[in-house]
A and B are shown apart, each in its own frame.
Chain A
Amino acid sequence: MKNKSLVSINDYTKEEQLRILDLAQEFEQNPVQNILQDYVVASLFFEPSTRTRLSFESAVNRLGGKIVGFSEASNTSVKKGESLRDTILTIANYSDLIVMRNPIEGSARFASEISPVPIINAGDGANQHPTQTLLDLYSIKKTQGTLDNLHVAMVGDLKYGRTVHSLVIALCNFNTTFHLVSPVELKLPSSVKMHIKEKNLAYHQYTNMDEVIPQTDILYMTRIQRERFSDPLEYERIKNSFNLSHDMIIGTKENFRVLHPLPRVNEININVDASPKAYYFEQALNGVYVRQALMASILGIK
């Protein structure tokens, strides 16, 4: 996997994804190693990000690597009208690997085609965010002991949530049963359902989560944004039915865990946080190990 850019989750085969997860486990046991000391990683964030950028930078720092880059485009040559092509070709001279977030969809694929150094897509608009998918897979595997044959419920904005789309597509390799809970207006798009159907997997759709929770192994919560609704009254009517509180997870399976890509707003009450079944902050920590594994693998060190 040396020099293999990661733009979309499907750029890596199931075996390659599993290899990253195995490697991430090694890094979890030994997160501070001096293996990147001869490497420079460019971290190009054309739009703000907290978790993704900091976890990449934390991952590099803990492995002794150097980082160059920016956390917003406003004080770079992009502001002067430089094309993405020129920015990438220039920065590739200064680094061994480029991590990029950019609001333009398809920008990461384009960058990977022109860049002489590998690209990791850290989010291209509403399109793809594959390192989130890998850390979600890692979190599921770690809490369940397996990725195979699980019941996974996805809750919230399934129409626009890119993390949901990529995770559904990735889980289609593992005989998952999907429980899709969303307002009618925010159902999973047919382009994503197509992947479930291709693999002949079971999926069920709901408009509230009460009956789903007792059956599932993983409850993957996402945020519903007000601006997604054409009718604001509709948002007011449904918003509370997609919020999780502690009383709702009483009596769930022993292995049941709540995941969330974060940031959360109201969709998980803070009274859930203290439960051993709340896993979203550990999930965010897993992002560091997964990104360490990915970078070490792409740089050909592991």
Chain B
Amino acid sequence: MDNKNIKELKVSAIENGTVIDHIPSGAVFQVIRILKLESFGNMVLFATNLESKKYGKKGIVKVSNKVFAPQELNKIALVAPHASIIEISDYQVKSKKIVEVPDEIRGIVKCFNPNCVTNIEQVSTLFTMVDKEEIRMKCHYCEKITTKKTMEFK
């Protein structure tokens, strides 16, 4: 077995499902929350602070018997902009793609403006992305810009 395979085995392979790789180490738990895996019924494997040639350290999440809709997965681009999404079928890679920052973010992020109606009334947040590189998004309600620095998850 060569080195590459030994590394892969730090997290067991899954037979069918989705692997989310190249997550920044600090963002693994956020990814789990965004994808609502805390309350998911199938097997979920995850690891953080794995060695990565590209990023130094990385995290990985493997979700058994689950294929996510692209709009679902793209939400994690907010915290893991370079994550790869690998669909696994019968232990084989069926498809591999990179997440894309979505044009609209609904529900998962809090508006940073404490005087915004979304922080006062029962209304879910909605943002339109104005800068996908820097992650700057405009609140549909108060029209203020929430950035990477001020971003908090609900």
* Residues A8 and B121 in contact, CB atoms below 8 Å apart: no
Q: Which residues of A contact B113 (CB under 8 A)?
A: 105
* Residues B123 and A110 in contact, CB atoms below 8 Å apart: yes
Q: Once bound together, how far apart are the Cα atoms of A110 and B125, in whole Å? A: 11
Contact with B along A85-128 (1 / 0, CB 8 A): 10000000000000000011111011000000000000011111
Q: Which residues of B contact A128 (CB under 8 A)?
A: 143
Q: Which residues of B contact A (CB under 8 A)?
A: 111, 113, 115-118, 120-123, 139-145
Residue of B nearest to A8 (CB): B143
Closest 9 CB pairs of A and B: A106-B141, A105-B142, A106-B142, A106-B117, A110-B117, A107-B117, A109-B141, A104-B117, A106-B116
A-B contact count (CB 8 A): 51
Q: Does A29 contact B (CB under 8 A)?
A: no
| Residue from the set A8, A105, A109 with the largest chain B CB neighbour count within 10 Å | A105
* Residues B115 and A104 in contact, CB atoms below 8 Å apart: yes
Residue of A nearest to B117 (CB): A106
* Residues B117 and A84 in contact, CB atoms below 8 Å apart: yes
**Given A106-B117, A125-B115; A85-B143 close (CB under 8 Å):** no
Q: Which residues of A contact B116 (CB under 8 A)?
A: 104-106
Distance in Å from the Cβ of B61 to the closest Cβ of chain A? 34
Q: Once bound together, how far apart are the Cα atoms of A128 and B139, in whole Å? A: 13
Q: Does A191 contact B (CB under 8 A)?
A: yes
Residues of A140-170 contacting chain B, CB below 8 A: none
Q: Which of A84, A103, A191 contacts B115 (CB 8 A)?
A: A103
Q: Which residues of B contact A127 (CB under 8 A)?
A: 142-144
Q: Which of A104, A106, A107 contacts B143 (CB 8 A)?
A: A106
Q: Which of A83, A85, A106, A107 contacts B139 (CB 8 A)?
A: A106
Q: Once bound together, how far apart are the Cα atoms of A105 and B138, in whole Å? A: 13
Distance in Å from the Cβ of A16 to the closest Cβ of chain B? 19
